[in-house]
């Protein structure tokens, strides 16, 4: 009679142990690939979001319109930036602000009169950050800094800017106009001094660690009124 040979119990246990180790290693590899894919997709989504926000930021600054109805067409207090921009339906007030790690954008209804534009300006000064009309533009922001290019260099947006002298036409005295009619339209005097628009705006955005973006992002926009 021939002896029938086979695997011993120890050999079977060793084979099972090896297969278990290989299965665990394979699972870790698949899990790592899945995590890397999710992280990559989240990073790409964050980059697309940042690019969209910066495009809107650039569009707002490129359409600034100084109507003279407000103290400034572009104002910054460190935490918020206000500007008036031209649209097809009138002049629109836009406010960008950073609150609790979220960059927000608020827009008022386009105005066609000085009074409605001034009312929108006063309303913007009372924003608390929780209004439904404020759009959550970008999250994961730890800080931002805004600089204006004025007086031949970059400076903090709250620094004193270049002043421009506004002038208005003033009718000449009646006696002078009677002797020289042309003097009625040539008489001009200084009315007031206003802060000129800067030639450029720089924003430096710092991101929260582990939020999909790292480090800081700097973007310069040229102002062409």
Statement: residue 98 has pLDDT above 70 = yes
- Residue 36 lies inside a defined structural domain of this protein: no
The answer to the question of residue 167 being in a domain is yes
pLDDT at 20: 84
Q: How many residues does the chain have?
A: 225
Top-confidence residue, 29 or 124: 124
Using CA atoms, how far apart are residues 1 and 11, in angstroms rounded to an integer?
Answer: 25
Return the exposure string of 144-168: e unless at least 16 CB atoms fall within 10 Å of the residue's CB, then b.
bebbbbbeeebeebeeebeeeeeee
Which of 92, 51, 55, 58 lies closest to 222 in space, CA to CA? 58
Q: Based on the structure, what is the number of domains in the chain? A: 1
- In a domain, residue 28? The reply is no
Q: Taking residues 172-199, what's their average pLDDT?
A: 53
Asked if residue 174 is part of any domain, the answer here is yes
Name the residue with tokens 């809107």: 56
Average pLDDT over residues 197-209: 92
184 within domain boundaries: yes
Domain span at 174: 163-194
Residue 162's pLDDT is 60
More confident residue, 221 or 17: 221
Whether residue 201 is predicted with pLDDT greater than 90 in this model: the reply is: yes
Neighbours of 100 (CB within 10 A): 8
Write down the pLDDT at residue 160.
Answer: 72
56 domain-assigned: no
User: 48-83, pLDDT tens digit by residue?
Assistant: 889 999 999 999 999 999 988 888 899 998 889 999
Question: Does the pLDDT of residue 184 top 50, yes or no?
Answer: no
Task: Report the predicted TM-score, pTM, of the whole model to 2 decimal places.
Answer: 0.70
pLDDT tens for residues 8-64? 878 778 888 888 888 888 777 776 676 666 656 666 788 888 999 999 999 999 999
Taking residues 134-156, what's their average pLDDT? 91
Helix (H, G, I), strand (E, B) or coil at 62: helix
**pLDDT of 164 over the 60 cut:** no
Residues 53, 138: contact at Cβ < 8 Å? yes
The model's confidence at residue 146, banded by pLDDT at 50, 70 and 90, is very high
Instruction: Report yes or no on 46 lying in a domain.
Output: no
In a domain? residue 168: yes
């Amino acid at each position: 009679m021939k002896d029938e040979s086979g695997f011993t119990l120890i050999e079977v246990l060793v084979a099972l142990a090896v297969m278990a180790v290989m299965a665990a290693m394979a699972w870790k590899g698949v899990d790592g690939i899945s995590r890397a894919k999710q992280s990559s997709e989240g990073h790409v989504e964050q980059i697309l979001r940042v690019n969209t926000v910066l495009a809107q930021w650039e569009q707002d600054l490129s359409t600034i319109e100084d109507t003279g109805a407000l103290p400034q067409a572009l104002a910054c207090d460190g935490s918020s930036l206000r500007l008036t921009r031209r649209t097809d339906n009138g002049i629109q007030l836009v406010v960008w602000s950073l609150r609790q790690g979220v960059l927000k954008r608020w827009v008022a209804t386009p105005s066609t009169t000085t009074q409605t534009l001034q009312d929108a300006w006063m309303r913007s000064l009372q924003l608390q950050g929780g209004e439904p009309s404020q759009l959550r533009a970008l999250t994961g922001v730890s800080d931002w800094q805004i600089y204006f290019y004025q007086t031949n260099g970059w400076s903090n947006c709250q620094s004193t800017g270049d002043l421009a002298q506004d002038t208005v036409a003033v009718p000449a005295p009646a006696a002078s106009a009677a002797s020289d009619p042309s003097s009625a339209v040539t008489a001009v005097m200084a009315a007031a001094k206003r802060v000129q628009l800067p030639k450029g705006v720089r924003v430096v955005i710092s991101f929260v660690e582990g939020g999909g973006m790292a480090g800081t992002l700097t973007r310069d926009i040229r102002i062409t009124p």
